[in-house]
Structures are given as C-alpha cells and as structure tokens.
Amino acid sequence: MHKSERQAKIRELVRRERFHSQGGLTARLAELGFQATQASVSRDLDELGVVKVHGVYTLPSLGETSSQFGPVQFQPVGDNLIIGKTLSGLASAVTVRIDSVGIPGVIGTLAGDDTIFIAVKDRKSQSNALREVEGVFN
C-alpha cells in the first residue's frame, strides 16, 4: 500500500471513528490491511494536520483561507527570524509542511502549539523565505 492510500484511509477513519492514541489507530489500520509503524502513522497525522481535541484525534476544520491548516499568518522579526501563528494544535503540522518544501535560506524551524519559529540566514533570506512560506499557505 502506498503512503497516499494509507493517508486517505487515516482521514476516513478519523472522520468515522474515535481514536485516543496513535497505537489504536495503527492497530485499526493493520486490521484493514494497512501495515505501518506507529512512527509512520505519527508522520501521517502531522502531514494531514490531524490534531487531538479533548483527547480524540480529529481533522482540522477548514478556515476561510485556502490552506488545509486554517488561517496561518507570518511576520518577520529582526533580521533572522520569521514568526508564524496558527490555530491551536496545528503549528507542528504547518512546520512539517514548511520543512517539506525546502525553502532556500531557511536554517531551521521550531513548533510550539500555535506558534512557529523559522530561522533564516540573513535579511535577504528572510524576505525571500517569508514570500515563499506565505505562498505555501495562501
């Protein structure tokens, strides 16, 4: 089974059933013939933007923006930092998406609950990275 098929099944399962742990979701996938490690399922959940709400995994509700992560805002701070703000619980998923794009000049990212730090090389890298990261989510 391909990753895209597994992720589609995860999306379906999270919509229809209640999962309180990654282990439970991984076991349910195995019952349906989708063999995956818990680490793979964890990455899938991040990439899909699935978050825990009141102890149950749920899909993010789509905001009015075109981003699957709801509204995401970025602003430059100083010469080497960009701060991003997301809905609560989505910063990690947004950061995984940023990292997967491979934006030149980005040295590293760090996610909290609803805040993202994006470290860049210099001011020129900052303005280019800001433009590119905004393009990914808007």
> Has residue 63 got a pLDDT over 60?
no
Higher pLDDT among residues 50 and 76, named by residue: 76
Exposure class string for 14-33: b at 16+ Cβ within 10 A, else e: beeeebeebeebbebbeeee
Average pLDDT over residues 68-88: 86
Q: Cβ(50)–Cβ(41) under 8 Å? A: no
Q: Render pLDDT for 110-134 as a digit per residue (tens, 0 to 9).
A: 999 889 999 999 999 999 999 898 8
Class in CATH terms, 73-137: alpha beta
Q: What is the pLDDT of residue 81?
A: 95
Fold (topology level) of 3-58: Arc Repressor Mutant, subunit A (1.10.10)
Give domain limits for the chain.
Answer: 3-58, 73-137
Q: What is the pLDDT of residue 3?
A: 85
Q: Cβ(50)–Cβ(6) under 8 Å? A: no
Q: In which band, very low, low, confident or very high, does the pLDDT at 66 lie, cut at 50, 70 and 90?
A: very low
- For 135, phi then psi, to 5°, come to -65, -30
pLDDT, the chain, mean: 86
> Has residue 65 got a pLDDT over 50?
no
Q: What is the pTM of this model?
A: 0.53
Q: Cβ(7)–Cβ(48) under 8 Å? A: yes
